[in-house]
Amino acid sequence: MHYFWSIRYALLKSPNNTTCPRIPSPPLSPVTTSFQKCHYDPSPSKFRDRASTRGISEQLLALNKLEFRKFFLILNYIGRRKVEDVITLHDVGDILDMIYQPMSHFESYIWNKYGHLCEHNKRVQYLDWDSGRTHLYHCHVHSDRSYTFKGPYLKAERTHLQHSLGDENVLIVKFEQNTPGCPEEIVQNGILVGLRRYRFFVYKDDGKKRRLKDKEEKIDSVKCYFVRMESLNPYENETYILHDKMVHEARCNFMHVHMVSSMAKYMARFSLILSTTVKLQVDLNSVNIDRIEDIYCHDKSGRIIYDEDGKPLIHTDGTGYISEDLARKCPQDFFNVKHKCANLVRYANGVKLGENSSELGEAEFQSGEPPLLMQCRLFYNGLAVKGTLLVNRKLPQRTIQIRPSMIKVEADPRLSRAHMFNSLEINTPSLKPRNTYLSRTLIALLTYGGVPVEYFYDILNNTLEETQRLYSDEVTALKVAVNHRDRDDASTATSMIMAGVPLTEPYLWCCLSSLAKEERNGLKGGRLPIADTFYLMGTADPTDTLNRHEVCVILEHGQIFGEVLIYRNPGLHFGDIHRLLAVPVKNLGDIVGNAKYGIFFSTKGPRSAATEIANGDFDGDKYWISQNPQLLKYFTASRPWSRIHSTPKALHREPNNFSAEEREHELFQTFLETRMPNYSMADASANWYALMDRLLILGKNNTIENEETKSVKEKLFELIDLYYDAIDAPKSGNKVYIPKRLKVDKFPHFLQKKESYHSTSVLGEIYDRVEKFKAEEPVAVEIKKLPAFEVGIPETCLRLWEERYRKYRFEMKEALNTSSESKNDLADQVIKKYKQLLYEAPDMEESIRSTTDIYNDALAIYRVTYDYAKAIGDVRKCGFAWKVAGTALCRLHAELHAKEHNQKVMAMSPSILHNLLNLRIHQRSV
């Protein structure tokens, strides 16, 4: 067949060719990528039978030879047009000539040929098409029942769904708002991408009811994932993972999700396959997966205690064990593997074998120890398990122990276990805690508990003064930059300061100004830095020795002792901050060894402390823990939360009580309902803030509780229960509504809503002080070059980078003019392109160029960039020099600075720098 097409397109491209030989096909309308109505038939074989008698355009049939991502790129660039209306048979021949060209060359050719067809077309350019990053294929469905394709976009993260099926077999579908009737038809009939049919498989709401800034479309936040189920190619007997399967059968390859107790839980559980994870490299067939019992809560008589729904209360809800040898397989630099260079780093037995990324951060597990805890997803022979695994040195090798509370989907014993997508997926391990901050909620609860408002004002004033000092004090500037090290401008600022670049340098000043603004915006919302406080993942005490009022906390230097305050987001109840005693557990080391960073709760008493703190559990929740002496001095704990008001329970039918067709219809109805905005959680939160604000103001003016205070508290308690119900609504299926009697007419001004009043509470005062402080923003510095860099540069270098900088500005404008889904990634690609041109490698450390040549080019980049920035009066334009040549410029400046002061250049680990800065700041505050 390939030989036939080669002859055919050789004839088409011949200048003497006047006729086009045609392949006979029935005189029916061609299959295209535009929406077509057809009656839903769940049988894949019938679709294939239909394809054999249906006319398929020669263009589609020929282009099917292309690598899928190349074909998808064509669909992206032609927009809503049909392939047959845009691409002629002669064009097909030209395109197939590019079949073996690198993706970057193919993309350039297709963009030049078809990119002009759509007014709002956005180009998709990457340097690392073959890096192994995940390819994301998007489809946007419009209100006129047509659809357009976007992508492919590259991303480091990958889900279990993509791991199992392959990127090109997953289509991410978003529906335009106000598309009545359209989504249901498309879900029933599937979406054709060339000759592939994709069917509705799973959906997930990212919880952000926002509109994209794209002028073309307004897409809702609920993402549908369609998967490839059928092929309409009559000439090839294609095989693919879900070939010849029904949708229900395909889902069962991941988990036996029909075994859940309600349809409300069906998609909530099945969407576990959409978590972005790192796959633990282990063959589960060689692992012993044992079930152990949960530890239940008992009353004084030893009887199990049940909640209002008749379910037993559990001390070990969501947590199990993993043997040390398996825990060691978790990558040491987990964050980088998951978010930066996934699939580029290979591991065996936890040891790194090779890498393609030079941007590796500090090691996340100290001294080669495994993580103490890992939040995970386990898919095994129909089971779906969600929770945390605690490292247990006492377990035999290659052993995992799970509890019933961790099992979200049970296996169906009637089904075969063949062809299951078994996997142990790690969401996050217990990492070293970073700097911790307060929030509006915490400030309100701590104030109610007796902490003086002056304490928060002192933190606020000190931090505001710090944002001013960072323009003149290198240590303060470094501290702020390191604390925001996830931001690119903070990383650049850190390198520049460490290289001895003066704080008055224009671009460094610009970075510091941006960080100061970020700090103040956070302060305005109550994000106050707090010492002796950290977030840790929680689990149950494996030794069963902790008393009810005790916890065990493991930090960098081992177990701590003393009173602690413990809280969990998004707790709103006065009693969601507990005051407990941290004590060492002597024999805990026999189980966890020297593994670090976690909090252990007692398994004794009538109720788990985790449940008392905002209805929490141990499936990966992180707990706010404070040893801060000022908070401990003043705070008085309230009675823990317990439910007072319950939302009426919805009636449920089990998925097994539906036929396959009924179940698909029901699933889609829940999808439609999910697309409809539900503001119950947001309403409960906003009205809680308003009522809590009122309570704080009343408490400031009254020492005795009056009728208004009691009324406000009663409303708060009901709102809190409704808020917690709203959080669980996607799994429970219960409809949560906020009654009008609990809603306020006006909101405190710090919430920035239309109907507002000026709050005089601690939250209102914090907001006002930061707003007032804005007037003290320092005057921008003049754009001028560093004297150290005013040296002779070869003219050839200057001319070369003048031309490249012109191209860069055009390419960056194109990248930033794309959809928000890929804007930042494409902008990063442009930067990487010019770094590659400078170093002939990803960065200077890997370059084989001479240092002299690199420095000459870096100085040329610096001069060209700064001359342009000064000409247009925009200091932000200086960023090109530091983003592209920052490593070389910082190294050169450090050498010149050290030489001037008769010193040597020293290297320092970012983690050591962070520790030193925090130590100095802590000593200063003491």
Kindly state the average pLDDT of the residues 69-74: 96
Q: How confident is the model at residue 54 (pLDDT cuts 50, 70, 90)?
A: low
- Structure-token match 């996830």, residue found: 486
The encoded tokens of residue 161 equal: 């769904």
Q: Are 704 and 697 in contact (CB under 8 A)?
A: no
Position with higher pLDDT, 24 vs 130: 130
State yes or no: pLDDT of 876 exceeds 80: yes
Q: Are 83 and 57 in contact (CB under 8 A)?
A: yes
pLDDT for 703: 58
Please indicate, yes or no, whether residues 164 and 193 belong to a single structural domain of this protein. Answer: yes
State yes or no: pLDDT of 17 exceeds 90: no
pLDDT for 704: 62
Condensed to tens digits (0 to 9), the pLDDT of residues 581-635 reads 999 999 999 999 999 999 999 999 999 999 999 888 999 999 999 999 999 999 9
Condensed to tens digits (0 to 9), the pLDDT of residues 422-469 reads 999 999 999 889 889 999 999 999 999 999 999 999 999 999 998 888
Most confidently predicted of 81-90, 181-190, 693-702 = 81-90
- Domain membership of residue 557 (yes or no) is yes
Please indicate, yes or no, whether residues 521 and 538 belong to a single structural domain of this protein. Answer: no
pLDDT for 587: 92
* Angle, helices 879-900/506-524, rounded to nearest 10 degrees: 110
In Å, how far are 66, 87, 99 from 57, measured between CA atoms?
15, 11, 19
Please indicate, yes or no, whether residues 282 and 332 belong to a single structural domain of this protein. Answer: yes
Please indicate, yes or no, whether residues 766 and 831 belong to a single structural domain of this protein. Answer: no
- Domain membership of residue 922 (yes or no) is no
What percentage of the chain exceeds 90 in pLDDT?
56
Q: How confident is the model at residue 183 (pLDDT cuts 50, 70, 90)?
A: low
Q: How confident is the model at residue 924 (pLDDT cuts 50, 70, 90)?
A: very low
What percentage of the chain exceeds 70 in pLDDT?
84
Please indicate, yes or no, whether residues 843 and 879 belong to a single structural domain of this protein. Answer: yes
State yes or no: pLDDT of 4 exceeds 50: no
Please indicate, yes or no, whether residues 417 and 392 belong to a single structural domain of this protein. Answer: yes
**If residue 204 lies in a helix (H) or strand (E), which one and from where to where?**
strand 196-205
- Domain membership of residue 441 (yes or no) is no
State yes or no: pLDDT of 719 exceeds 60: yes
Q: How confident is the model at residue 349 (pLDDT cuts 50, 70, 90)?
A: very low
In Å, how far are 414, 607, 615 from 297, measured between CA atoms?
34, 6, 15
Q: Are 191 and 198 in contact (CB under 8 A)?
A: yes
Kindly state the average pLDDT of the residues 475-489: 85
Q: What does DSSP assign to residue 323? A: E
Please indicate, yes or no, whether residues 148 and 177 belong to a single structural domain of this protein. Answer: yes
Please indicate, yes or no, whether residues 295 and 356 belong to a single structural domain of this protein. Answer: yes
pLDDT for 362: 39
Position with higher pLDDT, 833 vs 122: 833
Please indicate, yes or no, whether residues 283 and 418 belong to a single structural domain of this protein. Answer: yes
Q: How confident is the model at residue 25 (pLDDT cuts 50, 70, 90)?
A: very low
> How many structural domains comprise the chain?
6
The encoded tokens of residue 881 equal: 């020099």
Q: How confident is the model at residue 42 (pLDDT cuts 50, 70, 90)?
A: very low
- Domain membership of residue 926 (yes or no) is no
pLDDT for 654: 85
Position with higher pLDDT, 838 vs 899: 838
- Domain membership of residue 576 (yes or no) is yes
Please indicate, yes or no, whether residues 62 and 204 belong to a single structural domain of this protein. Answer: yes
- Domain membership of residue 135 (yes or no) is yes
- Domain membership of residue 413 (yes or no) is yes
Position with higher pLDDT, 190 vs 566: 566
The residue out of 498, 529, 560 marking a domain boundary is 529
Task: Please state the φ and ψ torsions of residue 644, each to the nearest 5 degrees.
Answer: -110, -45
Residue 502 and residue 477: Cα distance in Å, rounded?
11
Position with higher pLDDT, 17 vs 705: 705
Most confidently predicted of 49-53, 338-342, 477-481, 583-587 = 583-587
The residue out of 726, 744, 775 marking a domain boundary is 775
Domain that holds residue 586: 533-634
Secondary structure, 3-state, 131-158: CCCEEEEEEEECCCCCEEEEEEEEECCE
Q: What does DSSP assign to residue 308? A: T
Please indicate, yes or no, whether residues 173 and 103 belong to a single structural domain of this protein. Answer: yes
The residue out of 429, 461, 479 marking a domain boundary is 429
State yes or no: pLDDT of 574 exceeds 50: yes
Q: Tell me the CATH number at 608.
A: 2.40.40.20
Please indicate, yes or no, whether residues 286 and 250 belong to a single structural domain of this protein. Answer: no
- Domain membership of residue 242 (yes or no) is yes
